[in-house]
Every structure is written in structure tokens, then in C-alpha cells.
């Protein structure tokens, strides 16, 4: 059976998950994480993809990204990223075979309130896993850039993030406020289900608007 086509639109954010094969470890040493981020930073520029949020877990990765020109750029970025990182990882750790699952998962994301829900879902991953007490305590995510202003050249704020305030300090403060409570369980489930199914995360009106745009695209 043929795989369903990915839902892709220019200038529309995507939540992406790339998992280790058989849920095996993708990052064993901090140098692994640094190499993955180095490749991600390089390839997002090559394929014109804006990266808004990320987290590197032991055996998987979450990204929130927007294709800025050709929506196929996300597919090309993820394919080359997976190949080049797997080659690095296999050489470094003296292993063979595939590192990642055959296909990353993704879903289109509405702007609000779902966009910030995805920001929170991604950056709170280590907290939900019991790895750290707070999002700012985890090194391998975009949270310190988005919430604290740490220099992270691969992170590009979404316009909705920029709209949180007129100054960087105001934006970061309002962003931190979003993390004062946990995501509601129903929203967690919706993010997981729509990403796993490769569908649209958003209101019914947003889903209908996506359907119209996809129908009219060449």
C-alpha cells in the first residue's frame, strides 16, 4: 500500500518527530547532539526552513519548523539530515544499519492557540520524561533561546512569537508565562494523534482552509 502524501504548505508550520529505529538511542554523547544541531543549522539554510523550536531526546527529536519557499524543502532537509547524521553516528559508535525510523512524522499546525501549544509540547518533553525539573534546565532544546535569550543561531522566531511584545525582554517574559502550567491532557493527546497520523492540528476552520489550499495547489 502506498504511503499517504505528506500535507505541506509554504509558510505553514509543521510539528515533526524523528525517532530512533526500534526506539534505539540517537544521542549517546554530547558530541552527537552538537553534530546533529550543526547539521540541522546548515541544512535549514540550504533548504530555506525556519526552525522555531526543537528538543533532542535520547532516542528521538521534535522540531517546529516552517518551509519558507518550497514546502518540499522540509522533506529534503529531513532526508539529508537523517542520512548525514546516521553516517556520522555509525562511524563514531562503530555500528551499521539504519539509525532512524524509515519515515519521520509530521503535521501542519494552526497559528493560535495550537502553535504555542506545540512550542510548549516540544520544550517540556524532558520535563514530562522526568529528566529535569524545568524546561530551562535542559541543555538540548530551544527553550533557553526562546525564554531566556540565549544565543542559538539555528532558532528563528515565528511571527506569532515576535508578536508577544515590542521588545525582546517583553517577548521572553510572556513566553515564560506560558510554561507556568502543564498542557491539558486533551491537547497533549491531540498533538500526538495528529502528528502520528500526519494530519492537521488546528480548529475546524483551519482544517477547512488547509483543505482549500491543498486543493488549489498545483
The CATH number assigned to the domain holding 185 equals 3.30.70.1290
Domain-embedded: residue 82: yes
What pTM was computed for the model? 0.93
Inform me whether the pLDDT recorded for 91 exceeds 80: yes
Domain-embedded: residue 97: yes
Domain-embedded: residue 157: yes
Beta bridge partners of 14: 65, 108
Domain-embedded: residue 205: no
Number of Cβ atoms within 10 Å of the Cβ of 115 = 23
Count of the separate structural domains present in the chain:
1
Residue-range definition of the domain harbouring residue 141: 14-198
Distances (CA, A) of 70 to 15, 62, 79, 91, 140: 17, 21, 15, 32, 28
Q: Dig out the grid coordinates for 84 from the structure.
A: 548525514
Please state, in angstroms and rounded to a whole number, the distance separating the CA atoms of residues 66 and 52: 8
- DSSP reduced 3-state for 201: strand
pLDDT tens figures, 170-180: 999 999 999 99
Domain-embedded: residue 7: no
Query: Which one, of 73, 98, 93, lies nearest residue 18 by Cα?
Result: 98
Inform me whether the pLDDT recorded for 3 exceeds 60: no
Per-residue pLDDT averaged across 185-212, rounded? Answer: 90
Domain-embedded: residue 70: yes
Domain-embedded: residue 33: yes
pLDDT tens figures, 113-160: 899 999 999 999 999 999 999 999 999 999 999 999 999 999 999 999
pLDDT tens figures, 15-68: 999 999 988 999 999 999 999 999 999 999 999 999 999 999 999 999 999 999
Per-residue pLDDT averaged across 84-97, rounded? Answer: 94
Inform me whether the pLDDT recorded for 2 exceeds 60: no
Amino acid at each position: 500500500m502506498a504511503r499517504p502524501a505528506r500535507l505541506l504548505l509554504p509558510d505553514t508550520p509543521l510539528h515533526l518527530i524523528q525517532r530512533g529505529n526500534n526506539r534505539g538511542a540517537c544521542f549517546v554523547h554530547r558530541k552527537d547532539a552538537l553534530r546533529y544541531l550543526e547539521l540541522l543549522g546548515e541544512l535549514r539554510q540550504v533548504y530555506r526552513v525556519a526552525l522555531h523550536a526543537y528538543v533532542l531526546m535520547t532516542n528521538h527529536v521534535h522540531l517546529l519548523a516552517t518551509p519558507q519557499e518550497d514546502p518540499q524543502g522540509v522533506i529534503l532537509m529531513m532526508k539529508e539530515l537523517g542520512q548525514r547524521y546516521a553516517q556520522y553516528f555509525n562511524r563514531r559508535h562503530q555500528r551499521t544499519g539504519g539509525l532512524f525510523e524509515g519515515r519521520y512524522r509530521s503535521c501542519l499546525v494552526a497559528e493560535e492557540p495550537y502553535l504555542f501549544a506545540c512550542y510548549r509540547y516540544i520544550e517540556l518533553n524532558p520535563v514530562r520524561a522526568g529528566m529535569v525539573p524545568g524546561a530551562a534546565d535542559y541543555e538540548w532544546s530551544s527553550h533557553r533561546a526562546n525564554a531566556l535569550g540565549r544565543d542559538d543561531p539555528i532558532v528563528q522566531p515565528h511571527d506569532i512569537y515576535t508578536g508577544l511584545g515590542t521588545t525582546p525582554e517583553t517577548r521572553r517574559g510572556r513566553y515564560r508565562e506560558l510554561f507556568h502550567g502543564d498542557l491539558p491532557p486533551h491537547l497533549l493527546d491531540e498533538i500526538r494523534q495528529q502528528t502520528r497520523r500526519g494530519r492537521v492540528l488546528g480548529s475546524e476552520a483551519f482544517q477547512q482552509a488547509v483543505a482549500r489550499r491543498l486543493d488549489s495547489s498545483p
